[in-house]
Each structure stands twice: as structure tokens, then as C-alpha cells.
Structure 1
Amino acid sequence: MLSLNAFESGMLFEQQLIEDESLLRYQACADFWRRHCYPLPRDIAQVVFDVWKGPKALLKDIDRYLQGEAPVIKAPPSQEETLASRHEQILARINQVKQQWCEAVSELEALFESSGIDRRKFNRGNQAKWIEKITAWAQEEAKNYQLPEALGKFSQRFLDERTKAGGVTPRHPLFVAIDNLLSEPLSIKDLVLTRALSEIRETVAQEKRRRGELGFDDMLSRLDAALRSESGEALAAAIRTRFPVAMIDEFQDTDPQQYRIFRRIWRHQPDTALLLIGDPKQAIYAFRGADIFTYMKARSEVSAHYTLDTNWRSAPGMVNSVNKLFSQMNDAFMFRDIPFSPVKFAQRNQSLQFKVNDVPQPAMTLWLMEGESCGSGDYQSYMAQVCATQIRDWLRAGQTGDALLMNGDASRPVRASDISVLVRSRREAALIRDALTLLAIPSVYLSNRDSVFETLEAQEMLWVLQAVMAPERENTLRSALATSMMGLTALDIETLNNDENAWDAVVEEFDGYRQMWHKRGVMPMLRALMSARNIAENLLATAGGERRLTDILHISELLQEAGSQLESEHALVRWLAQHILEPDSNASSQQLRLESDKHLVQIVTIHKSKGLEYSLVWLPFITHFPRAGSGFLSR
């Protein structure tokens, strides 16, 4: 739109679109780090380092806010405040409490003895240990923001909760001072983030202007600004003339800026149509700036609402179960502007069923853990075990023809690939994979975004390449032979050590790989080594071998690609070592590839499962969710 209407939009004709701004943002972040962190005194630099180890860690915290419209800081720090002044203020607060503690510690034992403190929750033995640890801390001058874990036991709020009903609560100005100290964060984080956001965004913008470049976010920002300028109506009219009808799919994932653009061009315009298609329950791109309130605002501004009333995928029992579950509350999705609308099932799915031992299974089953309450760790362990056990029982029944997926007169046994487990995170996925592995059930995590350079295979590949490059170095060669991909035992290696002829043969073998690498490249050399050492066969014979072989082949391809651009074998080894030290999981080329998902239970995040379809689905941790932090940023 900008280039087609360059005159109305004020768009420069000679500008280049850049699809990936990540390198620009990193360079700007590194510049910020050099300007502000390098000159810091050692004590303040250590405080910053305790939060972020370097510019890459800082960028990870703010990257989402460097894209799209600038975020609003809820409670911005004063422009005059510096890291040094904040640091001194925090240390002064800590030292004040330390001084009060040293002055009052001799009074505490008598104070607690004369109070109604519940000794079952605040016993004398622990009390003495806590006082001893805090006293040792209080006698040293504060140099960092670390507080003893036990300090919170002496806050007035905590002591109020630990006093017996009707008893005398221990009270002292020290306890109130501890309350006040703990109530406000002892951190420079908000100060650094606020400055970083402002300066890095400006640095990136300046660099793009200097280069004559713009990104996707810039196009939106410029179109938004152009539509609000003096020539905005002419630009909107030109766009409407070219596109009188606009159909916006997945509208729930739009942000306020995008909606302003649509609204400015098409709303209340004769002979035009603006169709907004979306489902707020599927809003998944909040991390990119999408705003569910934008959807709600748009919905309230449009009088004509049309709803799809038929589920074409699911069995009747599943559709009815979902209708029943979400009809239990008036505001099932928290906001009245997002109502739940029951749907019908498709007649073609009338005969879809899951039978075990010839008994139709409920479309939806809710598992309840026994007992009144439990910790989140116990809950997750229990549900992972229940989930894995249920899947094992289904698969066993499928092997004997007793667990069948029915569709009319047709039926087939349940297979592992029919089953999906939905999770929220990599950690939850690991819990399920571990539970399934204990029962010898193979699985695959479809949402894995780890870098292949973070794997054991990457480190082992480095040792192998180092050995190929210098097989005459015994320690280097021995390290390569000891890798798990080689499949040798400690006894095998010891036998080689004691047999000079056998060892010389291995040295000669690896020298041959070195010559092949030099003449033909790294990939042919690795293929020859893998063939001679039966690496693929050995790995596939072990648990998780397919995953490991996939990673080895992936790393081999990346090495071949990098090798074509580097001047020597030594440079390629340095390249691999550097990528192991600093893997980048955001680089698509590095992300772990999927090993074959044939005959595997599929584990996938709820986010990634959108639009996918599975016969049998487990949500083992659906009642466990992280508490959202209040944060200090908002869009």
C-alpha cells in the first residue's frame, strides 16, 4: 500500500525491505551494553551481571517489546535516576535493616517467649538457627542485594499469620522494617530495561534510516501514521478504490495498530465491506502484540455477527461434552464480550467411536487426584504417571485388537501415532516423555525449538572432528573414541591402549578421514566414518537412537554448508566450537529437526496444536498454570 500510493503516503521510492531485524536488534543491544555496562564500577557491574550475563541475555528479556508499537511503562523511573543512585538507595535500605537487627536481636528471644506464636510452625530450634544466620548476615556491610531466606520469618505480616488465635502477636519496629524492605523489589532491572527499550529502539530506527531500509513493523507504523496525516483521507480513498472489500482472517491475532488501519480505511464507508473473521478463544499471539481487547472492541462496534454452528471434526460425544462443560458458567472465558456458543456435530461423524474391550469410551474423561490438596510437583508427577499408564493400556489393547477406533462399520486398532499429549512447555513435555520412556513407549516432542548445537551430539561431533584433524594426538583421539556415538566400551578403549598395532591402525584410519576431509569436504568424510564405524546401526539399536542420529545428520549438513564458506578445516572446527558456546535457538536452521513420528506418541504444546487433529488427546497438566507476573510493561 505504501509503495502503490507513494505520493499520498509520503513513502520514499528507494527503500529496501528487510525481513529479519534480529541482527540489527542484537547489534543495538550490544552497543547499549558497551555504553552503559562497561564503565560501571565493579560492585554495580556485578549486580547487573547477576541479572544478565551479557547483551544476549538482556535482548532475550526485551526482544518482544522492540517490535511493533513502543510499549507503555506502567511506572517509569525518573529520568534523573541512575544505576549508581539506585544501587546506593538499595544498599542503604538493606544496611538500615541490618543495623536495626543488630540493635534488637538481643530482645527477640524474650519477645517470642512472651507472645502467642504457634510453636508448631515457629519452633525454638528453627528460631535459633534463623536468628544466627540473619545475625551473621547483618554484621557484614551490604555489597549486593541478597537477603537471607529466613529474613521473611521475622516480617510483621508473617508473624501475624503464625500467631495462635487469641494470642499476643510479637510486635517490634524491626518486624515492620523487614516488611517494608521485602515489600518493594531490590532491583535495578526496571531501570535498565526502561533505558534499554528506549535507546535500542531508537538505535535500530536510526540505523534503518541510514541504510534506507524498513521492516514489516515499520510498514505498519508508516501506514498508520500516513492515514492520520493531512493526506490520510486521500490515501484511505485510494486503498478503498483498489480494494473495496477487505476480509481479515484470524482477526483475534491482530493488534491495536492493525485494527486502527482497517478501521480508518473501511469503517462506515459506503459501497465497501470489512469482514472480520476470528475466534477469540484461539488468540495465541499475545507475545507478538496481539490484543484480545482489540477483538472485543471491534466486536462491539459491529452490529452484524455471524457464527459457525457446526463442528465438522469431532465425534458427537466430544461436541456434547464440550457444550456441557463450558455451559456451566455464564462467563466461561472471563469476559462477557466473549460468549460461549454451543455448536452442533456433523452428521457424517455420527458413527465415530473409541471402543475398549467392545465398550464405547466416554468422549471426555476428567481425572481427579485423591486428597484435598498437594504441591504442584506432586500433582505433575502423578498426572504424568497416570497419563503414561493409560496410554500404555490403550496401546496394549490395540495390539490385541481390543482398543479400536470406529467409523461406522470400519475399525482399526489404536496406534501410538493416534495419541497426542498437549502440554504448555518444554518442561511439561519432558515430564511426559520421561514417564512414557519408563514404560518403553516411544514419543516425539513436536514443539522442540532447542538448537541442535545444545545437544550431546554436537559436543561429540566436535571431539571427532578434532581427532580427525590431529589423529596423532593420543588424548584427542581417545576423546573421540570414548564418545557414545562410537559405541566403544571402556574395556574396548583400554584394549586399544595396550595394543600398539591396534592403536596405530586407528590412527591410520583417522588419518585417512583427514585426507578425505581435505580433498572432498566434511560431509563425505563423515559419511565414510559413520559407515566404517556402523554409527547409524549402533544408534538405532538404542533407546532414543533415532533422535540422536537425526541430530548427527543435521549437524553434518550444517558443517558442510559452513565449510563451503570457510577457508580451512581449522576454521570449521572453530565455527562448531563457537556455535556450541553460543547456540541460537531462534535460528531456524539450528532448531532440532523432527525424527520420524511414525508409531510415536506425539507431544505438542497447546500453542502449536492449533488447527491440528488427533484421534485421542491427553491434557495431563491442564489445571496447572503459571501465575502471570504483573510486570512493568504494557502495550
Structure 2
Amino acid sequence: MNNLTSYQKAALDYKNHISLTANAGSGKTFVLSKRYVEIALAENIPLNKMVAITFTDKAGGELYRKIASEIEQRLITEEDNKKIEILHRIRRQLVSANISTIHSFCINLLKSFPVEAGVDAGFVSADTNLADEIIDKSIEKYINECVNNSEKFELLKKIIRFCGSKNNFIKQIKHLIGKRKKTESIIKIINDKTTEEITEKFNNDFEHYGSLLLKEKADKLIRLLETINGYVAEKNSENEIAAKVTNKVKEYDNSDTFPKKMIILSEIIKEAATQQNKIKKRGYFSKDYDNTPEIRQANEMMCDFEKILPKENSVEAVPILAEYNKVFAEIFTDILKIYEALKKHRCILDFEDILLYAENLLKNEEVKTALSERYNYIMIDEYQDTDEIQYNIFMPILDNLKRGNLFVVGDEKQSIYMFRDAEPEVFTKTREEITKWGKNNILNLPHTFRLYPGIAFFTNILFSELFKTENVLLNEVAYTELICARKTDEKGKVEILICDESNPEIDEAEVTSAKITEEIINNPDSKFSDFAVLCRKRNHFAELEDAFSKRKIPYQIVGGKGFYQRQTVYDILNMLEFLLDFENDTALAGILRSPFFLLSDKTLYNISQKRGNSLHEKLCSLSLDMPELKSVADKLAYFKSLVHQTEISRLVKIILNNTGYWSVIASSTEGEQEIANIKKLITLAGSFYNQGLKSLYDFTDFLKISVQKQEDEGQAVPIGNENTVKIMTIHQSKGLEFDTVFLYRTNDSPRSETTKAKSISASKTFGFMAKVPLGENYSDDYAAAPVVLLDDYIQWRKSKAEQQRLLYVAVTRAAKNLYICASIKKSGITGGSFFEQIAKGINLDTDKDEIVISGRMKFLNKESLPENIEREIEQKIKLVKTFNLTENSVFSDSAILKPEVILTNQIEDFIKGDIISATKVAVYSQCPLKYHLAYNLGLKKLENFYGKSESFNDLLDKENEEKLPADLKGRIIHSLLESETGDENLYETVKSKIIGETGSEEISGQFIDEIIQDLKLYFNSNVYKEIKEAENYKNEFEIYAAEDENYLFGIIDKLIIKDKQIVIADYKTDKIEAAEIKERALSYEKQLKFYAYLVSKKYPEAEDFVLKLIFIKHPENYWEQHLNKKEVKDFGREIEQIISKINSNVFPANITHCPKCYFAGKDKKCIYKAEI
């Protein structure tokens, strides 16, 4: 710990509750991981007594890796044997540690206390699509109920007229359900009040909060206007406007209520200012005084007050708003009841439910006590992004800090998730609670180890100005100065790239791509992955993609939308549509042309010329003469045979694994992104199945609708850090850092936050906010009550403060170089834009070619005390307005993107990026030619032609288990073993599983009895009892591992972790005699060794591997083999050799395997005689 700063060391004091504010690049995750390990080691407690909450799964993964790394580092340096023993124990327990998002943590709470929480123990967490579907059904059901209830029908008509349409009504209700916490708290208040009492509340709220937030500012504006009016009156005592303003100012000063003051201020502004809220020149103020400080300040303040000053009919709108609040509450409550009932019927909880139920669960004293005893240490990362519900979950667990230990870390300057109800005030509230236990418990990490001095100094100058005022009610936060931990001779660059918006030839996308090109060419050490382009909006991505493509700059969209519109999704949709209808010629044409089969246009034309009623018939006809087409037709027939007996996600996997799709996509320029998208689609298919929606037709229909309507669905985030420029939103960049950052389109206007007509918003302070029609006149403009104007003002100020924090996040992603891009119109800088904030913050004059900012900044002194030293610093900022966009700066495919390599060997064609399963390795080991026939040529088994009785079950992939209807029994047994179903109600459970798999209720009782008999044999065995006693295990464990440019994949029936020992158990349902077990087990040996190698890569600390092969019909005669670490590693080399041979197309025949091979004819010889 000698390398830690004094601030970091203080943060490791786990004896006290701590609130830690961490500046950008201060290493908070580093500190959090050290604190986690320090507690576990010093207190010698099991990891399940500790909780670490992160904002995202990705952040959780990073924290997990850093904790693992810290443990490894300490094992290297630690000399105390007792501590070494504890560290080994911590490392073993880490796989099951409570490191998760708040939602995962709450799901675990609800699963632990389902009765107390009032939820079904087997509830499923609904994704957005399913929740939307249920909300739609709830609203439709409510509308249908209203038709038969005249009183409700009148309310429904009123609200639909208010919204302007049924579709907008549905949209508003969905929005309120999404903000259910706020909505329900409003309803609790409204239900207890009459319309008159709600009206009074609105007026009182306007008086109270308006005075609190604006009276002082209004008084200041009045004094400014009084001063300006004095200039006018002094110059012309007869000026009528000046006389009116003088009288109104006196009236303002004599007024005793805030609402009256606002009305008078509005009248003064109407007299003295233009409609644009500028002091009048004609007939009032002389041009000679146009640019005085008073004028500039008054103009700016009047623009701000425009949002709050009462409009015509504002007062009249108050009782109407109160009446609509009662209507909104009643309708929402009725729809919510239906929504809750539908979810309960399907055992579903939505995103909001999970937090709300957990919050309510913590009101149970017994549960609270149990959890207080269970969890001693709670650590929460990114605390600035938390909300009130999360505060209400963790504080009771710690008995409001009277028990246990709380550590929260975050940076209020980086709170940018207001749309998720995250508000910095929760951080402030928690800090105040922790302060009660000691002022020394409020700490900070001021050093930035990321930013170069020039960037750090620019950040300090800019944001010390923007974060000048602090106001908790408006989410305005104070600035904490960055202390630079970089060397003083490392400079850092800030440059402003200004485009003329009137010149379409030179736009920001072209300038950005040209600048990246210039940097790469001029700096040989630069990589494309050093660069990131940060956008406020995703709709800017397309223009950047076009510009980068022109210059052949490799790029990656991070978190881009349009997931359902990707070609990969279209391809899979085409395949599923065709499998449902073999006469769908359009879908089949798309499949044949896609990476599934890659048929040429010429081949497609030849198919179309054959006779037949459909394209499929023509394909089958031509396939009789063309072997390559026969393989295609056979595969399609095989996929079709799986449709009604295979879970959707597995069907998609089988299709992808049995065609060339993975390889083709992996080799494309956007391969990583598309692979991630495909995996997301497979996950969606799995969720669809888990939610009880098992029909392929339903899923295909869902995909079609999503392709048409869901354009904003985010793409998956690819794994890997390939050499590409990253294009992302600022929100996506949170937590990341890059050498060079481009802030793109900084002069664009921000989104408006005012209440729009025909919309409803929920304010936890005021109630339902909406503009309302006067006198039931829905065609005229809607009026805004004063409380609505006040809420708009507060939301505008909060949004403005968040935009400043968003800019802070963007600027502090850059370590070395920061480019600020802006397109400026003739009218000047856009109000409210990032560029306006930057210009104000550093006093920028855009007419200059360079500005200089200077001052003093603190640096970390690593050599001696004092820890921080202050130095003078000067930063030059260039303003670039002319650009060289010549074509000769376009990259060639060879010069920049690929290093020059001289090849002396023969060039051979081989495939990379494939997924290698246990079965593929085992089949290749049996006979390389067999592998070629099965996986490359896609030939069917000969039993289809000759009636061969031997089952293909001996080497099926887990993901391909459904190849034959006869495998249904095996799937049912595997499913029951995975869910650890016991003897109770076994008959009904088996029957239900079969119906779920087949969709048919016509089930043979004998078939069910056979399954139950096999299961009971296993449940009564000693090996089952032994496995059942395992504490740390995983069922149906899917595991991937990278192996050079390929991926190894397997699904392990049961993985048991015992200290340094790993037990891999694999269940087999083969119908064999006990005497055949040993021979059959040998055919599975490679498969289990493959799993052992995969597991060794995930759990490198494991030293002993036990392989168990359990034949369900003969459980006591299980096969077992022990391997040590070296033997597993040796098998890894064997896998490496096999993959190399597969990639190099080396497929010799092993004729000794022919008698057992399903590609052997009746003469027991291989059908592929040409190769032998």
C-alpha cells in the first residue's frame, strides 16, 4: 500500500461509515477493490457477509476482475501463512460473491423472502418488450370494461379527448407506469383530497417553492430594471414607458405575496422589453447604452424568467388541473390494478416492481433484522446515480447506520441519469446521515491519474465557472478541483474545430475523420483504438459512419440503436419465417443469399428456372443433380424437423452452428458487433421461452413487429478491444478513457424540458403536471397553471445542471488530446448548447485563432512532502477554422490498417473465428473425415436411408440435443435434473415438461412412467446423494473461452467447486446394458476432458479435476477419471492441434472407426471411398 496517496489510504478505513467523492480518473474502482479485499482479509469473514453494488453489469465485471487481480497480487507478496490461507479462501469464494447491480441484489432478496415480499417464488423478471405487451393488454382490457360502465366511460372519453387520441392516451399511461414510484406517491396524496383542496395545494406550492427558489432572483432583476429605467427617466423625464415602469416597481415592492410579485414582474417586462425579452430600444432605451453590464444581465435574467412568469389564463387553469389530477389518478389506479393482476397471473415482475417490492420488504422487521445479521459491509459504487428507492433499501439493512458498515463512492459532478430518477440529492442526504457519525467520514479523492496537465487545467477553469453555485433543490452541484497526478512535463492538448454551417462541403464528420487521419499518419505510435468520438445524440452516428467509411477508418459503434434493423436479425427472421412456411419464396431467397449458405446470384437464377410450385420445390429438384445444393436442402429439412420439438434459442443456435454463418460474420468488418447482436437475439429468444411464450410463430411475429416499430432498441455491446475508433454517446462513455476524444456537434441545441400540451408528467413534489383545456375546449391552446410553469422552470434548471455534468463527463474522458467540434451559424452560438457553456466558462472569443488560459494548479508530489504542490500553468487553445480535406489522406487497406507481412509459404484457405464445441473435438478425434462429412458437408446419417438402428446419441452437442424425436426423453430428464426436481408431484411435472416440449397433450402414460423410473433409479443412488451435498455448484453451466481466434464452447450438466477441486458431472440417458458402460464411456472421454480444459481457463486456481459420467439407467456404475492440472493443460495442446488441422482442412480417414460410424454402409465401410 506504499503507492497509495494519503486520500486513498483514508478511504480504506473500514471501521467507519464513509462517503467518498471521487474525481474523474481518481482510481475509485481501484480503491473499492482494495477496500473489499482488506475487509475480507483483516476481518477473516466469508464473502457472503459483504455486498458490493455497481451501476451496471459491466462495472460489476470490472470490479470483480480488479478484486481478483488484487488477491493475486497479495498472494505474490504476502509472507504470512495464515493470511495466505485466507486469501486462497477469498479467491475460492469470489465466484459466488455478492457483486452485482441493484436489480440483481433485489431479485436475490425477493427470492430469499418470497412470502414476506408477497411474490411468487418462481417469478420471472420481465424485459421491456414483455412489460410493454402486458401494459397494452391492460389498457385494452380497461377500455373494454369502460364500455359497459357509463361512469367510467365518461372519464375515459374525457382523458382521450384531453390526450387528443387513443394512441397518445396509451403513450401517457405507459409513461406513468414507468414512473410508478412517483405516480403512486402522488395518488396517495390526491386520493385523500377534494378538488378544492388540491387547488389550494397547487397555489400554496407555487407560493412556497417559488419564493424559495426565485424571490431573491426576482428582487435582483427588479433592481436592475429599476436602474435601467432610471437611466431612461434621467435622459427623458417625459418617457411614458419609464413612468409606467416606475409605478409598477413601487407596486412590486409593496406586494406581499410571491404570485402577485410574479404578475407585476410580468407586466414590467411586457412594458420595458421586446417579445424576445430584450430591453426595448425604440421609444425607451438609447442605443448608446446598449452594451452596458446591466443591460446584458437584465436580458439574460428576463429570458430565464420567461419560463416562470404567469401567462394569460394561468390562474383559471389551476382548478381545472386539480380536477384532471383526480381523473388521472382514478384511471391510472384502475389500469394499474389490471396490470398487476396480469403480471401476477404470469408470475412476472417488471423492472420497477423489483425495486418497489424490495423496498416494501425492508419494512418487515423480521426481514430487516435477518438481513442486518446477514450483511455486515455494504459498498455502493457510482452512488451519484442512485435514487430514493435504493436509499430506502440499504439504510434499513444497516438499521439507519446503527449496525454494519456503509461505504458509498461516487462523483456528483458525473450524475447524468436523471431520466432514470437518479438525483444527486440522494448523495447529499446520505452524506448528511454519515456526517452524524463523524465529520472525518466525509472523504474525497481529488487526484486525477488520467488527465494530462493541459486537460486537467482546462477542466478546472471551465467547470469551476459552470459549477459556481450549489443548489440541492435544482441538482446544482459544487465543483471539486482536480489535482493532476501526471508529470508536469506531459502537456496535453485542447483544440477547437469550428465549421461554418453555411458551407456544406466542410462538415464536422469530414473534419473529424480528416483530423483522425492526420493524427494517425503524423504519429506512428498512434492506434485507432486511442480515439473516441462522443455524441450527445445517436442520430449523428450515421454521418460519422459515412465519413469514416470514405477514408477507410475502422470504427465501432458502441451502444448504437437499430438492433432489430440489423441484417443479421433480418437473416434469422427470414430463416424462421421460412421454417414456418416452406412456400415463402422471399424468405428462402434471402436465406440462400445470406451467410447461411452464400449461394451466388447465378445459382439462385438456375434454381428459379427449374420446374416447381415454389422456390423450395425448385431447390429440391435441382439438388438431385448438384451435391452442394443437396446439402442445403437437407439442412433446411433437418431444421424444419426441429421446429415443434426444440426451444427457440436452441433452434437458432443449431441453425447457426450447422451453417457457415458464424464464420462469415466473424470475418466481416463489423464482426465483433454482429456476433454480439446475434448473442443478444439468442438471449431474447431464451427470455421469450422462459416467459411461457414457446411458440416459434409467436416469436417470429414478435420479431417482425420489432423490425417495423422498434427502431430505438440498442445494439449489443461487443466484447473485445480491437483497433477501431469508438463512436458512442456521452452516456455510453461513462467510466471509459481514451488518449484522444472528439466532442461532436457541441453547438447543437439541447432538448426542451417544458410541459407539452396533451402530455402528463409526474412530479413527486407537486402532483400530475399538465397543460389543460379551458372550458372543455380541446381545440384551442391548453393553459399552464402557475405550478406547472414552476415545475417546468425547476425541470429546466435541473436539466441545464445535468447538461453541464454531461459536458464534464465528456471532457474528462480525454487523457491527452481533446478536440471540441462545433458548427456555427451566422446568427452565432446556439443558446443552451455545450459550446455556449464552453464559451462562457473560458471566456472564448471565436473571432480569434488562439486563446490562452493561465493560472495555478496543484500537482501530486510523489517524491516528498508536501503531497500536493502548486505550479503556474499556461494552456494555449487553437481555434481551427480552415481544413485540408484532400483525398490523399484516405487510408489504403494495406498501408495503415494491416502491417506488411512477407509470406514465403504456400497460401492456404482456412477458417478462423469458429465456435468449437466438445462434440466437434470428440468427432475429429474419432475420425477427421467423419468431422468433414458431418460439419463441413452437412451429410445426414445413413440410418435415414438404411434404417440403421445405432443411435447418434453418443456424441451429440448439448446445443444439438434435439436432433431426433427419440431424444425427447433425454431432454426431459436433463431439464428435471437441471431444476433439481424431487420426487414430489413427479408425474405431473414430467407431463407438464412433455407438453411444453411437444405442444401436445396426447402423451403416453408408459412414456412418462419410463422417465420417472429412470429418475428414481438415479435419485435413490449413492452418487446422487454425494452430488446433492455439494454447496458450491452450477447446473447446465454454459461456458465460453477464447482460444486464439476461435471460441471453445460447452454446456456442463453439473459443475461442483470444492476448494481447488473441480467436479464435472455429465448425465447420459443412453439405453445400454451395464456391460457396455466402459466402452461407451471411452467415446465420451474427450468430451469431458474438453470441459475440464474450458473450466481450467475460467478457474485457474483449480488443481484437481474429477470427471464423472453418470448413465441414468445405471447410476451406481458411473465412470470416473481424475486429472491433474498438467494433464488438463496437455489436453489443451491436443485441442489446439485439432483446431489447427480443422482450420487447415486436414481430414484424413480413420478406417478403424468405420464399424462404429454412422457414415458406414452395410458393409461397415466408409461411404466416402474416394478419400480412402
Q: TM-score, normalised by structure 2?
A: 0.35
Structure-2 change in CA distance of 1:268 and 1:595 (3 Å) = closer
Instruction: Kindly state the Cα deviation for residue 601 of structure 1 after the two structures are TM-superposed.
Output: 1.0
Q: Aligned to 1:33, what secondary structure does the other structure show?
A: helix
- The alignment partner of 1:16 has SS state of coil
**Residues 606-626 of structure 1 deviation map (CA, whole Å, 9 limit, x = unaligned):** 222222221211111345322
Given that 2:453 and 2:484 are in contact with CA atoms closer than 8 Å, whether structure 1 keeps it comes out as: yes
1:392 aligns to what? 517
Report SS of the residue matched to 1:314. coil
Do the aligned partners of 2:372 and 2:397 also contact (CA within 8 Å) in 1? yes
Aligned to 1:293: 425
Deviations 1:329-353 (A, max 9, x none): 5617776973212122224x55656
Which residue pairs with 1:365 in the alignment? 495
List aligned pairs for 1:324-335, cutoff 5 A: 324-329=461-466, 331=468
- Evaluate the alpha carbon distance shift between residue 300 and residue 441 of structure 1 in structure 2; reply closer, same or farther with a 3 A threshold: same
Query: Secondary structure of 2:534's match?
Result: strand
- Report the equivalent of 1:30: 137
Q: 1:496 to 1:282 in 2, by over 3 A?
A: same
Q: Which amino acid aligns with 1:612?
A: L
Number of the residue aligned with 1:447: 559
The letter of the residue matching 1:434 is D
The answer to whether the Cα contact below 8 Å between 2:384 and 2:427 also exists between their aligned partners in 1 is yes
Shift of 1:388: 2.5
**What amino acid is aligned across from residue 614 of structure 1 in structure 2?**
F
Q: Of 449, 456, 465, which residue of structure 2 is paired with 1:319?
A: 456
Answering whether residue 536 of structure 2 is matched by residue 424 of structure 1, we say yes
In structure 2, do the counterparts of structure 1 residues 529 and 383 end up closer, same or farther at CA, with 3 Å as the change threshold? Answer: same
In the TM superposition, what is the alpha-carbon distance from 1:475 to its structure 2 partner? 6.5
- Structure with greater strand share of residues: 2
**Residue identity opposite 1:317 in structure 2:** G
Alignment of 1:92-107 (within 5 A): none
Q: Is the 8 A contact 2:134 2:342 kept in 1?
A: no
Q: In the aligned structure 2, how far is the partner of 1:480 from the partner of 1:597?
A: 31
Letter in 2 for 1:513: V
> What residue number does 1:342 align with?
481
* Matching of residue 435 in structure 1 with residue 586 in structure 2: no
Residue of 758, 762, 768 corresponding to 1:633: 762
State the alpha-carbon separation in 2 of the partners of residues 50 and 458 from structure 1.
33
Indicate the SS of the match to 2:445: coil
Q: Which amino acid aligns with 2:664?
A: A
Matches within 5 A, 1:151-170: none
Is this contact kept in 2: 1:73–1:632, CA < 8 A? no
Question: Could you say what secondary structure the match of 1:576 adopts?
Answer: helix
Residues 552-563 of structure 1: matches in 2 within 5 Å? 554=679
Which residue among 167, 189, 204 is the counterpart of 1:52?
A: 167
Give 1:198 deviation, angstroms. 2.9
Partners of 1:296 and 1:337 within 8 A in 2: no
Counterpart of 2:1086 in structure 1 is none
Shift of 1:482: 6.9
How far, CA to CA, are the matches of 1:312 and 1:435 in structure 2? 33
* Aligned counterpart in structure 2 of residue 579 of structure 1, from 685, 693, 703: 703
Q: How does 1:121-520 map to 2 (within 5 A)?
A: 194=329, 197-203=332-338, 215-223=353-361, 225-226=363-364, 247-259=379-391, 274-300=406-432, 302=435, 303-304=439-440, 305-329=442-466, 331=468, 338-347=477-486, 362-370=492-500, 382-395=507-520, 397=521, 402-403=522-523, 413-448=525-560, 450-451=562-563, 453-463=564-574, 504=618, 508-509=622-623, 513-519=632-638
Bigger radius of gyration, 1 or 2?
2
- Shift of the 433–597 alpha-carbon distance from structure 1 to 2, 3 Å rule, reads farther
Identical-residue share of aligned pairs (%): 18
Instruction: Pick closer, same or farther for the CA change 1:519–1:483 going to 2, 3 Å.
Output: closer
In angstroms, what is the RMSD of aligned CA positions?
Answer: 6.0
Paired AA for residue 16 in structure 1: A
Q: Distance in 2 between matches of 1:365 and 1:285?
A: 28
Paired amino acid for 1:436? F
The CA distance in 1 between the partners of 2:454 and 2:386, in whole Å, is: 33
3-state SS of the aligned residue for 1:52?
Answer: helix
Distance apart, 1:473 and its partner CA: 7.2
Give distance in 2, aligned partners of 1:293 and 1:564: 41
Structure 2 match to 1:127: none
Conserved in 2, the CA contact under 8 Å of 1:25 and 1:204?
no
Q: Contact 1:251 / 1:276 at 8 angstroms: preserved in 2?
A: yes
Structure 1 residues 461, 475: CA separation in 2 closer, same or farther (over 3 Å shift)?
A: same
Pick closer, same or farther for the CA change 1:316–1:36 going to 2, 3 Å.
same
1:16 counterpart residue number:
121
What is the distance in 2 between the residues matched to 1:457 and 1:491?
23
Please give the alpha-carbon distance, in whole angstroms, between the structure 2 residues aligned to 1:76 and 1:623: 43
Q: 1:493–1:239: structure 2 CA closer, same or farther, 3 Å change rule?
A: closer
Per-residue CA deviation, residues 515-550 of structure 1 (Å, 9 max, x unaligned), is 43443656555666648xx9928x967xx6637864
Match of 1:536 in 2: 664
Determine helix, strand or coil for the equivalent of 2:443: coil
Structure 2: tracts of 5 or more residues without a match? 1-104, 148-152, 196-269, 284-310, 624-628, 643-650, 765-1172
In structure 2, the CA distance between the partners of 1:271 and 1:444, relative to structure 1 (3 Å rule), is closer
User: Which residue number in structure 2 is paired with residue 621 of structure 1?
Assistant: 745
Q: Is residue 450–residue 592 contact of structure 1 (8 Å, CA) maintained in 2? A: no
Shift of 1:633: 1.1
Match of 1:72 in 2: 186
Gaps of 5+ in 1: 82-155, 167-177, 227-231, 354-361, 405-412
Moved more, 430-439 or 188-197: 188-197
Structure-1 residue corresponding to 2:736: 612
Number of aligned residues: 501
Offset at 1:310?
A: 0.9
The one-letter code sitting in structure 2 at the alignment partner of 1:341 is: T
| TM-score, normalised relative to structure 1 | 0.59
- Kept in 2, the 8 Å contact 1:255–1:289? The answer is yes
Aligned partners of 1:527 and 1:247: how far apart in 2? 42
Change (3 A) 1:470 1:323: closer
List per-residue Cα deviations over 1:262-286 (Å, max 9, x = no partner). 6667699778765443311222343
Work out the CA distance in 1 between the residues paired with 2:374 and 2:682: 46
1:513 is paired with a residue of what secondary structure?
helix
Match of 2:671 in 1: 546
SS at match of 2:495: coil
SS at match of 1:366: strand
Paired residue type of 1:508: L
Task: Tell me, in whole angstroms, the C-alpha distance in 2 between the residues paired with 1:380 and 1:596.
Answer: 36
Shift of 1:326: 1.8
Residue 290 (structure 1) shift:
2.3
How far apart in 2 are the matches of 1:164 and 1:464? 70
Question: 1:117 — aligned with what?
Answer: none
Query: Following the alignment from structure 2 to structure 1, what is the Cα–Cα distance between the partners of residues 607 and 120?
Result: 64
2:516 alignment partner, SS class: helix
> Could you tell me whether the CA contact under 8 Å between 1:32 and 1:196 is conserved in 2?
no
For residues 493 and 685 of structure 2, the distance between their equivalents in structure 1, rounded to whole angstroms, comes to 50
For the 8 Å contact 1:73–1:633, the answer to whether it is kept is no
**Could you tell me which amino acid in structure 2 is paired with residue 598 of structure 1?**
E
1:67–1:294 distance in 2 versus 1, CA, 3 Å: same
> Partner residue of 1:124?
none
1:602 to 2:739 alignment: no
User: Per-residue deviation at 1:598?
Assistant: 1.7
Q: What is the CA distance between 1:490 and its match in structure 2?
A: 7.5
For residue 602 of structure 1, report the CA deviation from its aligned partner: 0.7
Instruction: Report the 3-state secondary structure (helix = DSSP H, G, I; strand = E; otherwise coil) of the residue aligned with 2:422.
Output: coil
